[in-house]
Structure formats: structure tokens, C-alpha cells
């Protein structure tokens, strides 16, 4: 999903599609569980939004935990609120507040009405009652809901990927019959994504899982580590792509290799977006993996993609606001810091007000997915949507340049599909993600046919 916060247009035409996030990655600021009563938390959350709207910034910052205060100063908070109103219109009122999760951490979602859109403020509380996370997302209740039923003949069961302290809840979808079936692990993109890779009303990985299972392929999907263990991830001083994605994907492959009804010689992996970038590293030196599918995988590092996304979205109406110019300048400064040879693993990098360990960014200096992929002999299928503004066609061409002439690699471009591999027309934007859709059937058919064609035991 976009690294910038997405807004859904509700009334009229919003001047911009790009909206400025208070924090681009909540994993770095989420802390610990809350012990306050749910009713108390919902009241406090509504009061916090009211304080923010009425300019009582000191009252808001007083509620933040130490890490949040460091990442989000009073000036940054004031600026972010002003930028939010620039995009969504003047603030109007606070609506209902609901507690959406409890246990490891408690999150209160507050419905905020602006002149042009309804926005949800998601406020995370730690066990002491301090605010440990704050971000604004599209209003979920305003989105059309899917009523999804597992297709006839398929079965699903809950599984656990990995071991303590990083065990992850997952879902294994099995085709009709007794197998053994070829199988595939789905590896999600950036952010604290759930096993369905839920983006607005859309569930990319559920679509893939059900579609592939209907074609005879077992599918394993699981919650990302940053989704299941945000507190522990935030406390890691040297967090990298291996911690976020690679290690857990390898654990998922090992799980399939010991799962009944799965053909242990025909285990594939599919990475979407950042997961696609990680796929060659996951497969490198791993004899259990029979092939790789890369969907909209980036070759370039994330700091370049983040800047490109922002420039694209800011330019949709051919006009840059002062706030957008400021954000672009901040991103360029962050990229310069990341590219600075003097950056040490123990440093922190500030991107749009969020402090992240430099280790995360330094990892991409030494990891070049196209070069790793060039040394792999297993089959690879690389897919790209022509309307993708997050991982743009230039990255697809980088894959093609690095792997052209390799008989084990197949490329496929879908001109009318976006980053979610859903169809549309004209320039893509985050608003498009807020409309319910499904992964295009052509993509599912192509992946299934490719897997079955490369199964050694296929008849």
C-alpha cells in the first residue's frame, strides 16, 4: 500500500490525492499494551482529537510516550494537522469512537468529519495510558463491505508460522481432494500488513489464495511480523528486511515442507511489492523453493520509491502546494541522509517525522535483488501492472535488463492493472484502492498455469 496515508474522496473533488502522514510506519512508534478501561480510552481518544482540532497542542503532546514525543514534536504535530485539513478540508466534528483491539495493545478508532472526507484517527495506547501511536486512515465504515464466502470444495485451516518469540498466525488454503498439491507462500509488501494483504476494502492475498486453490494449488498466507508483533519490532535496535520479511518467509516454506497434502518438491514463493524485492534473497541457497513469482517487485531501494510516489501524487493536478513542496524537500533530505557514506547502523533516519533505525536503510545498500536473481537457476515469473504508481514500470525494466536472456525467467506486463493488480483506466491514485475490487482473473490464471507447467511431477 502507499507509504503515504490514503484518503477516500466522499463529497466533491479533493484538490489533491496525496495526504501527509503523521507517521509513515507505525511499527517504529507502537509500544506496549494498555490496561485502561475501554470506555475510558474511547473518551480520552475523542478528547485528544478535539484538543488537536482546537489547537491545544501541548495537551496532546503531554499524552504521548517518550518515543512519540521524540518523533512528533509540537511543531510537527501542528504542521501535520494543517496539512491534513489542506487535503480533507476544514475539520468539522468528532464522531463515534470504538475500541478495535485489546490485549497486546489497545487501539481506538475515532471517526473525524472534515469538509471533504471522513477520516479515522487511529490512536494506540500503552499499558500506562500514554499514546504510543497516531495515524489517520480512510474511514472504514464509509467503505462498501465485501461478503466473502470460501469457494465450494476448498478448505482452510489456521496455522502458525515460525516459533517464539516471532510466531505468526496464518491460513493454509487447500484445494479439493487429497493431494499432494503444489504449494505457494504469499509474501506481503511494506507496512504492518495482515495475511490477506488488506488495503481498504480489498484483500489481495485472499483473492490470490482462493483463486490459486481453485486451480489445484495450496496457498499459505500469514500476518507480517510487524503486524503480529509491532511492539517487539519497534524495540529492535537493528531492524532490517531480514527481520521484517525474509526470515519469516523462509519459516513459512519450512512449514509447508512438513505439511500433509503438500508436494514437498513443489513449493513456490510469491512476493508482492517489497515482498517481491525480498523474494530472490528468500530463495537464495534454499533447496526447498522450486520457483519465484514477483508481483510489482521493486529493484530500487525504498527511499527512491517513496520520493517517486510522492512526486507522482503531488503532480496529479499539475500543481504543487507549499505543503507538498515541503514534504518533497523533507524526503529528498532523508534520502540524502540515507545515501550519506557516514551513516552508521546505530544512527536514526527521520522520514516525514518518523524516526527509523538506520540499519533498516543501510541493508538496501548491500542488497541488490536483480543481481541475486541473476544467479538463481529456478524458474521465475515477473509480473507488473502498467498503471502502477508505487512500483513503476522502470523497476520492471530493471528486472528485464538484469535477467533478459535467462531461460528460467518469464515476464508479463498488464497495461490496465494497478499496484494491486486490479483493472482501471487513466492515471492510478490512492482513491482507486478505496473502491472494492478483485485481483484480475488473468493474473491468477497466468500464475496457476506457470506453476503447474514448472512442476516436475505435473502430468
Q: Which active-site residues does the annotation give?
A: 273, 388, 419
For 341, list phi and psi in degrees, rounded to 5. Answer: -60, -20
For 270, list phi and psi in degrees, rounded to 5. Answer: -130, 120
Sign of CA dihedral 273, 277, 280, 283: negative
Distance of alpha carbon 249 from alpha carbon 227, whole angstroms: 14
Cell of 447: 500464475
Residues with Cβ within 8 Å of 134's Cβ and at least 6 positions away in sequence, in order, are: 22, 23, 29, 64, 68, 72, 121, 122, 123, 124
Residue 356 bridge partners (DSSP): 349
> What kind and span of H or E run contains 182?
strand 181-187
Nearest to 231 by CA among 378, 65, 402: 65
Sign of CA dihedral 244, 394, 419, 3: positive
Residue 55 DSSP label: T
Residue 97 bridge partners (DSSP): 110
Cell of 58: 501541548
Judge contact between 87 and 103, C-beta under 8 A. no
Nearest to 298 by CA among 429, 221, 378, 390: 390
Amino acid at each position: 500500500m502507499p507509504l503515504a496515508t490514503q484518503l477516500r474522496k466522499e463529497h466533491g473533488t479533493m484538490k489533491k490525492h496525496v495526504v501527509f502522514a503523521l507517521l509513515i510506519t507505525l511499527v517504529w512508534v507502537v509500544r506496549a499494551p494498555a490496561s485502561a478501561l475501554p470506555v475510558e480510552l474511547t473518551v480520552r481518544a475523542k478528547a485528544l482529537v478535539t484538543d488537536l482540532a482546537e489547537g491545544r497542542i501541548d495537551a496532546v503532546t503531554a499524552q504521548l510516550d517518550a518515543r512519540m514525543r521524540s518523533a512528533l514534536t509540537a511543531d510537527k504535530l501542528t504542521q501535520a494537522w494543517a496539512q491534513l485539513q489542506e487535503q480533507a478540508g476544514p475539520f468539522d466534528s468528532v464522531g463515534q469512537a470504538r475500541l478495535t483491539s485489546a490485549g497486546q495493545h489497545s487501539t481506538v478508532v475515532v471517526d473525524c468529519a472534515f469538509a471533504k472526507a471522513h477520516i479515522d484517527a487511529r490512536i494506540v495506547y500503552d499499558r500506562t495510558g500514554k499514546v504510543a501511536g497516531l495515524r489517520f486512515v480512510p474511514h472504514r465504515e464509509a467503505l462498501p463491505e465485501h461478503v466473502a464466502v470460501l469457494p465450494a470444495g476448498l478448505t482452510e485451516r489456521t496455522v502458525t508460522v515460525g516459533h517464539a518469540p516471532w510466531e505468526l498466525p496464518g491460513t493454509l488454503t487447500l484445494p479439493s481432494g487429497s493431494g499432494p498439491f503444489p504449494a505457494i507462500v504469499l509474501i506481503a509488501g511494506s507496512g504492518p500488513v495482515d495475511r490477506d494483504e488488506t488495503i481498504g476494502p480489498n484483500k489481495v492475498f485472499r483473492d490470490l489464495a482462493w483463486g490459486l486453490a481453485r486451480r489445484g494449488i495450496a496457498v499459505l498466507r500469514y500476518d507480517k511480523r510487524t503486524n503480529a508483533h509491532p511492539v517487539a519490532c519497534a524495540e529492535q535496535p537493528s531492524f532490517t528486511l531480514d527481520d521484517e520479511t525474509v526470515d519469516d518467509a523462509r519459516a513459512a516454506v519450512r512449514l509447508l515442507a512438513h505439511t500433509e497434502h503438500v508436494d514437498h518438491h513443489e513449493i513456490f514463493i510469491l512476493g508482492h511489492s517489497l515482498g517481491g524485492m525480498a523474494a530472490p534473497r528468500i530463495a537464495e541457497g534454499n533447496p526447498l523453493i522450486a520457483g519465484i513469482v514477483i508481483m510489482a517487485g521493486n529493484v530500487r531501494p525504498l527511499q527512491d520509491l517513496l520520493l517517486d510516489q510522492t512526486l507522482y501524487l503531488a503532480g496529479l493536478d499539475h500543481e504543487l502546494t507549499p505543503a507538498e513542496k515541503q514534504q518533497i524537500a523533507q524526503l529528498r533530505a532523508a534520502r540524502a541522509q540515507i545515501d550519506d557514506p557516514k551513516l552508521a547502523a546505530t544512527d536514526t533516519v527521520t522520514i516525514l517525522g518518523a524516526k527509523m533505525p538506520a540499519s533498516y536503510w543501510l541493508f538496501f545498500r548491500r542488497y541488490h535483488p536483480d543481481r541475486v536473481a541473476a544467479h538463481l537457476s529456478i524458474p521465475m515469473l515477473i509480473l507488473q501492472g502498467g498503471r502502477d504508481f508505487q512500483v513503476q514500470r522502470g523497476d520492471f525494466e530493471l528486472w528485464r535488463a538484469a535477467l533478459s536472456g535467462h531461460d528460467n525467467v518469464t515476464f508479463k506486463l498488464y497495461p490496465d492493472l494497478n499496484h494491486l493488480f486490479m483493472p482501471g483506466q487513466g492515471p492510478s491514485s490512492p482513491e482507486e484502492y478505496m473502491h472494492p475490487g478483485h485481483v484480475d482473473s488473468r493474473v491468477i490464471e497466468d500464475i496457476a498455469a506457470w506453476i503447474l507447467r514448472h512442476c516436475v511431477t505435473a502430468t
